[in-house]
Amino acid sequence: MAGGMELGTVSRGFRSMFFMLTPNESSFQKVEDVPQYVEQATPFFIGLMVLELLVGVLKTGGSVVTISDGLTSISAGMVSRLPMLLMRGCELSTYMYVWDHYHLVELPWDSAWTWWLTFLGVDFCYYWVHRFAHEVAVLWAAHQVHHSSEYYNLSTALRQSLTQQFTSWIFYIPLALAVPPSIFAVHIQLNLLYQFWIHTELIRDLGPLEWIFNTPKHHRVHHGRNLYCIDKNYAGILIIWDRIFGTFASETDKVIYGLVYPIRRFEILHVQFHYYLYLWKKSKTYKTIIHKLATFFNGPSWKPGKSRLGDHIDNPKVTGKEVPHDPSWSMPLQVYVVIHFLLVLGTYHELIENKMMLSQLTVLGMTCYILLTLTSLGFIIDQRPRAALLEMLRCVTMVAMHRYSYIKPFLPVLAVPTEAFVSLSLLYWALQSCSQLLSIKRKAA
């Protein structure tokens, strides 16, 4: 009996990744009863990424992802979920507030018609969330995180923005006038999960499905920086919205992925926030308040004298021979970064699982530690001059947190080896820092 229930849970979890749940099994009366589909999908994310890696090696003879890019994408996904530790998601919180105070009609929560109507409504609203995120510079500052990878694989799907969730809720508010929050809570998750599997180059064409659904073929175009790809194919699940509103483009020339001006960095806070700084500096070059505001609320390519969305005349020409940024760094350092990343991933998982049993101060402290770790590992990948000093300070923090049981090993038997490894890490980076300081003093002398 228990085995059958567990198999059913696994089946529902897997089918949720492809929007294959039925209204009967995914309709709930209360928001509290709605499963955390996204959190429960973690094993499927990992499984499908491993499968893609294996198939990629067999099919192409090489890896579809690099350590530096893959870890940065997963780090961005972790960072994007951190606000959920301290508050309910903005989209759902604001939705519930509007529903409680302003809804005009109440569609039945247990009706298949309500379920399918909400599916269409959420997907339609997502199209406009996504389109505005490309057409308004300050919204693009958040969304560009997702486009910053020069690779296209399943890990890219996890490269999410920390700040986009603070504005996307606006577009879903009209649904709150009629659709119960519990049904919205289901579909906002399923819409996001569907978009995971379309981030791959291994699936080339799905035949007739290409006419109706967003597919890997369509979404590859969306992630391209080729001129024909820019600002195209905004769809979440249904590509029909792009066909209706004139933003559809078919895949033709080889797609070159990433931002028009690649950032060539892997440090997570830079990936998340660099474009805000760019907009601020750009606005300061203009004298009038109108131009300063237009910098933030017109399109990313806008300049005085151009249309609201600007144009792409000044874009670097794409030749099709571009090579993704892949810095050279030693294998021992790669192994080191992967091990420490797995350790902080375990800490992150424990924090997500036990957040309700921890004090707000503990949650905040561990959140800061996770951010420190991801930042420090990014410094190492980028080979920043201050990487040794930052990593030494992080290792000091990690030793203290491990000693006071804020950080626990994957298995009890690994407690001593983990503490020994972290202590050796601290010693190594302390020596590296001392060596750098001595070198600086010699140069100064």
What's the pLDDT tens digit per position in 152-211?
999 999 999 999 999 999 999 999 999 999 999 999 999 999 999 999 999 999 999 999
What is the per-residue pLDDT for 418? Answer: 87
What is the per-residue pLDDT for 15? Answer: 94
- Is residue 91 in some structural domain? yes
> What mean pLDDT value characterizes the chain?
93
- Is residue 236 in some structural domain? yes
> Please, which residues have CB within 8 angstroms of residue 441's CB and are 6 or more apart in sequence?
none
What is the extent of the structural domain holding 428? 331-444
- Is residue 129 in some structural domain? yes
Measured CA to CA, the distance from residue 312 to residue 304 in angstroms comes to 14
Among residues 194, 212, 245, which one ends one of the domains?
245
Residues 118 and 18 in one domain: yes
- Is residue 293 in some structural domain? no
- Is residue 94 in some structural domain? yes
Number of domains making up the chain = 2
Among residues 212, 245, 278, which one ends one of the domains?
245
What is the per-residue pLDDT for 405? Answer: 81
Question: What are the two backbone dihedrals, phi and then psi, of residue 238, each rounded to the nearest 5 degrees?
Answer: -100, 120
Place of tokens 């499963």: 35
Positive or negative torsion for Cα 277, 281, 283, 288: positive
Residues 188 and 335 in one domain: no
What is the per-residue pLDDT for 4? Answer: 52
Question: What are the two backbone dihedrals, phi and then psi, of residue 336, each rounded to the nearest 5 degrees?
Answer: -60, -50
Using the predicted structure, report yes or no on whether residue 18 has a pLDDT greater than 90.
yes
- Is residue 298 in some structural domain? no
Residues 80 and 180 in one domain: yes
- Is residue 291 in some structural domain? no
Among residues 245, 262, 294, which one ends one of the domains?
245
Residues 226 and 124 in one domain: yes
pTM attached to this predicted model: 0.93
Residues 232 and 340 in one domain: no
Residues 164 and 38 in one domain: yes
Measured CA to CA, the distance from residue 123 to residue 115 in angstroms comes to 12
> Please, which residues have CB within 8 angstroms of residue 282's CB and are 6 or more apart in sequence?
295
- Is residue 311 in some structural domain? no
Using the predicted structure, report yes or no on whether residue 440 has a pLDDT greater than 70.
yes
Q: Judge whether 337 and 67 are in contact, CB under 8 Å.
A: yes
**The residue type at 226:** N
